[in-house]
Amino acid sequence: MSNSLFWVENIRNIFFPMEPTQTINLIALSLIVVMHAGVLALRLGISLGRN
């Protein structure tokens, strides 16, 4: 268990060489962008379905 956790931490340090708060902010921003794109796609699908 601890070996895989260490591996994940090692990968995170390689790919995300920044502070944990910056990583959390990046994840939150990515989630907001994905949710916004999903809402726009849903609205587009609804409006296309009405025609």
Show me where the domains of the chain are located: 19-51
Contact present, 12 and 18 (Cβ < 8 Å): no
- Buried (b) or exposed (e) across 6-37, using 16+ Cβ within 10 A? eeeeeeeeeeeeeeeeeeeeeeeeeeeeeeee
Q: Which two tokens stand for residue 4?
A: 């895989």
pLDDT value of residue 14: 67
pTM score > 0.85 for this model? no
Q: What is the pLDDT of residues 1-51, one digit of tens each?
A: 455 556 566 666 666 666 778 788 888 999 999 999 999 999 998 888 876
Given a contact cutoff of 8 angstroms between Cβ atoms, the answer to whether 40 and 47 are in contact is no
